[in-house]
Amino acid sequence: MRPMTAHWRKALARRRRQLMQAAGDGAILILPAAPERVRSRDTHYPYRQDSDFWYLTGCDEPDAVLVLVPGRAHGEAILFCRERDPAREAWDGPMLGPEDAMEALGLDDAYPVSDIDDILPGLLEGRRRVHYHLGRDADFDLKLIGWINRVRAQVRQGAQPPQEFLELGHLLDEMRLFKSADEIKLMQRAADISVEAHRAAMRAARAGVHEYELQAELERVFRLHDAQPAYASIVGAGANACVLHYRANAAKSRAGELVLVDAGAEYRGYAADITRTFPVDGRFGKAQRALHDLVCAAQAAALAQARPGVPYEAGHRAAVETLTDGLLSLGLLKGTLKTALADGAYKRYYRHKTGHWLGLDVHDVGEYRIDGASRLLEPGMVFTIEPGLYVPADDATVEAKWRGIGIRIEDDVLVTDDGHRVLTGALERSADDVERLMAGG
């Protein structure tokens, strides 16, 4: 456990109160910690706490359960966690333990998780609504059903089992979508670390560099700042850039190729998500530059839509229009802007959307549409803007010079009261700026 400051303890207590208020009296909210996952025989993947659990507890241990019981006189915020075990701590490091959890995390009550079967049915009894992420953790789903059945078995003795089961995300996702000033500070830190990492990768590039060497540069900088990759870093040279979630990162680059780097740091749970595409040997070719300029223009068009009151989808529409127009001018598409937009011709070269919410999860929670319509942007929302163009290496419908070029440019944007702030705006983006940086500027 990282020690938590009093300021954070208070902020987390506020979040729990806000969630309980939204759920109302008569509700109970149940959130298990993420389970540990085996990677190989008896060793585990590096542990990553469930984002919701982290958001509400600041506790990064597995085998824990947060239970929120709004209006409960004997305490509303209850944690079940592992008991301390000196023999185990000698191998795995310090554990929180229920004795210290209350004080350390600012909770009302804490019990050993080994007692949960005895205690939870009593907490469920008399609560009408259960808020829970059904289907996220099948083992835990079964435990919950067991506890509920224990209450149901007591009906003739007067027990009142819950009547309604609700998706926890309805309330919690909406809270997480709007970032507080504290969260924005952490996201800015994740962004700053990621900017430095991308610069290190650009500086380390040269013809013949392996994709994994650039990955090593990125992740060296992440670790240097107590961060880690927020998702598997993508480093794709040449036509590998056209594989949207390329992860092999094993190829050797060749002179004259572009390399696409999509990598972001996770800092205190918060993700950054940046993509830059640059020439391994420091100079864009003519065709490469033309497509890079076009993707830059599409990103600028989308960014111009990032302000309160504008539909989220307006950014995607602006990017698509700019890309389509440019592809027509460069001769990669035929026809008029109107027909090319209407028949979605751009999808041949641009297969994804222009962004996603960003936060504790790299593809963060939150609705994109409300009652069938794109939701309007509001201050505190953070999302990526990441247009791209990917010309398949075997596309015989275009001139050879375009084939195998893959470009994406991705930045992280906060909606502010009067517009936006690009959290990752410090990183070189235009072809000229990238070349200057790579030349040692």
Q: Which residues are catalytic?
A: 42, 245, 262, 273, 352, 356, 363, 386, 390, 408, 410
CB count, 10 Å around CB of 37?
Answer: 11
Q: Does the footprint of Mn ion cover residue 217 (CB under 5 A)?
A: no
The answer to whether the beta carbons of residues 337 and 328 sit under 8 Å apart is yes
Is 211 a binding residue for ligand GLY by CB under 6 A? The answer is no
- CB atoms closer than 10 angstroms to residue 131: 24
368 binds, among ligand GLY, Mn ion, none (CB under 5 to 8 A by kind): none
Least CB distance to ligand GLY at residue 364 (A): 11
Give, as one character, the DSSP assignment of residue 226.
Answer: T
**Residue whose CB is less far from ligand GLY, 68 or 234:** 234
Distance from C-alpha of 263 to C-alpha of 274, rounded to nearest angstrom: 6
Task: Report d(CA 394, CA 388) in Å as an integer.
Answer: 18
**230 versus 301: smaller Cβ distance to Mn ion:** 230
Q: Residue 231 binds which one of ligand GLY, Mn ion, none, with CB within 5 to 8 A depending on kind? A: ligand GLY
Residue 35 CB contacts under 8 Å (≥ 6 apart), including other chains: 62, 137, 139
In which residue are the tokens 């953790």 written? Answer: 137
Residues 394-433, one symbol each (x = binds Mn ion by CB under 5 A, - = not), give ----------------x-----------------------
- Judged by CB under 5 A, the residue of 384, 388, 389, 438 near Mn ion is 384
Query: Three-state SS for 373?
Result: strand
Q: Taking CB under 6 A as the criterion, which residues in 402-421 touch ligand GLY? A: 410
183 binds ligand GLY (CB under 6 A): no
The residue number whose beta carbon is nearest to ligand GLY equals: 262
Say which amino acid occupies 232.
Answer: A
Structure tokens at 196: 């430095």
Closer to Mn ion by CB, 342 or 426: give it: 426
- The distance of closest approach from Cβ of residue 385 to Mn ion in the complex, given in angstroms and rounded to an integer, is 9
| Whole-angstrom distance, CA of residue 334 vs CA of residue 336 | 7
Answer for the pair 165, 28: CB distance below 8 angstroms, yes or no. Answer: no
Closest to Mn ion by CB, 273 or 428: 273
Distance CA 368, CA 375 (A): 6
Q: Give least dist CB 229 to ligand GLY, A.
A: 10
- Enter the tokens of residue 250: 């094993």
Which distant-in-sequence residues (6+ apart) come within 8 Å of 32 by Cβ?
50, 53, 64, 65, 66, 137, 140
Member of 60, 262, 364, 435 binding ligand GLY (CB under 6 A): 262
> Quick check: 361 binds Mn ion (CB under 5 A)?
no
Q: Which of 8, 178, 212, 231 binds ligand GLY (CB under 6 A)?
A: 231
Q: Which residue of 217, 386, 411, 412 would you call a contact of ligand GLY, by CB under 6 A? A: 386
Distance (Å, whole) CA 129 – CA 163: 6
User: Which residue, 317 or 356, is less far from ligand GLY as judged by CB?
Assistant: 356
Comparing CB distances to ligand GLY, the nearer of 50 and 262 is 262
Q: Please report how close the Cβ of residue 410 comes to Mn ion at its closest, in angstroms.
A: 5
Report the residue from 109, 192, 273, 325 that binds Mn ion according to the rule CB under 5 A.
273
Residue 325 in the binding site for ligand GLY (CB under 6 A): no
Shortest spacing between CB 357 and ligand GLY, in angstroms: 11
Q: Where are the beta strands (DSSP E) in 128-201?
A: 129-132, 164-167
Going across the sheet that includes 228-229, the strands are: 228-229, 265-267, 270-271
Give the integer Cα–Cα distance in Å for 367 and 390.
Answer: 28
Instruction: Tell me whether residue 101 or residue 320 sits nearer to ligand GLY (CB atom).
Output: 320
273 is a contact residue toward ligand GLY (CB under 6 A): yes
Q: How far is CA 273 from CA 52, 193, 245, 392, 411, in A?
A: 20, 11, 13, 24, 7
Q: Does 266 bind Mn ion (CB under 5 A)?
A: no
Q: Are 385 and 411 in contact (CB under 8 A)?
A: yes
Question: Cβ closer to ligand GLY: 12 or 272?
Answer: 272
CA–CA separation, 441 and 198 (whole Å)? 15
- x/- mask, ligand GLY, residues 33-62, rule CB under 6 A, reads ------------------------------
The item of Mn ion, ligand GLY, none sharing an interface with residue 225, based on CB under 5 to 8 Å by kind, is: none
Query: For residue 391, what are its two tokens?
Result: 């010309």
By CB under 6 A, name the binding residues for ligand GLY: 231, 262, 273, 356, 362, 386, 410
Q: Note the residues at the interface with Mn ion (CB under 5 A).
A: 262, 273, 384, 410
